[in-house]
Structure 1
Amino acid sequence: MGRCSNDTGFVALNIAVLTVSDTRSLDTDTSGQALVDRLEAAGHQLQARTIVKDDIYQLRAQVSAWIADPQVHVILSTGGTGFSHRDSTPEALQPLFDKQVEGFGELFRSLSFEEIGTSTIQSRAVAGLANGTMIFCLPGSTGACRTGWDRIIAEQLDKRHRPCNFVDMLMRHAQERV
């Protein structure tokens, strides 16, 4: 497990939200909006939000730009994690990871099983760290985004969560990148 600080004060992170969809607009993007609402309610800052078509190269380009931006601490993506021929979020983003957070997908599917049963095996939710930026890739359903944020991500992006969270590591990387 990573080294954890004893300082337990809240730290607001800058978070970008990416919706992967060929059909949604900002008006119809309930999954992206659920993530925005939750991150803001938690006290974090929305740094950027966009919708990108499910295309490996467009996804990599957008996420690479955010990874290169020292103001973006976390990227939350929704969509493109299933098995249709257009679903390519894991293929697009995993090559960008310096380290993968294997436990994220495992825990997400375990929690999701409680809600949707064996259909959870069709989720390829993944997470990783790239250039000091944490990236969480969630399925496109609003329910999956609520589950991912409420039951995993919110605690891991809250410095007060014990025994460990990602905040100290993200802040160290942010200071190194400036």
Structure 2
Amino acid sequence: MSESPASNAPVPLSIAVLTVSDSRTPETDTSGQYLRQSLETAGHSCFDHRIVPDDIYQIRALLSIWIADPAVQAVLVTGGTGFSGRDSTPEAVAPLFDKSIEGFGEVFRALSLVEIGSSTVQSRALAGLANNTVIFCMPGSTGACRTAWTGIIRDQLDSEHRPCNFVGVLRARSPS
């Protein structure tokens, strides 16, 4: 756990949003839209917002570009975490992690249990750090994104959240 730097003002982050889906379009991507609006409401900026098919190599390729970009501090990924069809987000993303954040999936499923019951066992939500960029992967429903954002992510990307948050371990934002 990391303490954030002492400051009188919240630290705005540059965050990318990735929707993994074979069927969503910019008009129907309610989960990605929700995440983008939520991060902006929290005072962060959206570096980029993309939709890619549920394909391990396309997911990994775009994430690798964002992880290497010094302007990106966090990535929110929605979709592809279940067991149906081509769901492959965990297989695409986990190999990129330098460190896994085991507690994210555990806490997400605990929060989700209250909302959807035992169906939460089918969520393979995960998170980790790659090149000092935090990546949170959650299911593709807007409800699941809301649960993850309000129950975990919002606080963990808030430099004023105590006793700890991830802001202190993220790379400094490059000048724009």
TM-score tier (shorter): over 0.9
Tell me which residue corresponds to 2:137. Answer: 137
In the TM superposition, residue 168 of structure 1 has moved relative to its aligned partner by 1.3
Pick 1 or 2: higher relative contact order, CA cutoff 8 A, min separation 6.
Answer: 2
Between the aligned partners of 1:79 and 1:3, the Cα distance in structure 2 is 30
Identity %: 64
Measured after TM superposition, the shift of residue 5 of structure 1 is 3.7
More helix by share: 1
Count of equivalent residues: 174
RMSD (CA atoms): 1.3
Residue 47 of structure 1 is matched in structure 2 by 47
- Residue 9 (1) aligns with residue 9 (2): yes
The AA in structure 2 aligned to 1:125 is A
Contact 1:132 1:174 in 2 (8 A): no
Shift of 1:153: 0.2
CA distance in 1 between counterparts of 2:77 and 2:7 reads 29
Matching residue of 2:91:
91
2:132 counterpart of 1:107 = no
- How far residue 4 of structure 1 moved from its aligned partner, in angstroms, is 4.4
Deviations 1:133-153 (A, max 9, x none): 100001000000001001100
Q: How does 1:68-79 map to 2 (within 5 A)?
A: 68-79=68-79
User: Which ranges of structure 2 fall in alignment gaps of 5 or more residues?
Assistant: none
Q: Is the 8 A contact 2:4 2:167 kept in 1?
A: no
CA distance in 2, matches of 1:59, 1:128: 15
Q: Any unmatched runs of 5+ in structure 1?
A: none
User: Is the 1:4–1:163 contact (alpha carbons within 8 Å) kept by the matching residues of 2?
Assistant: no
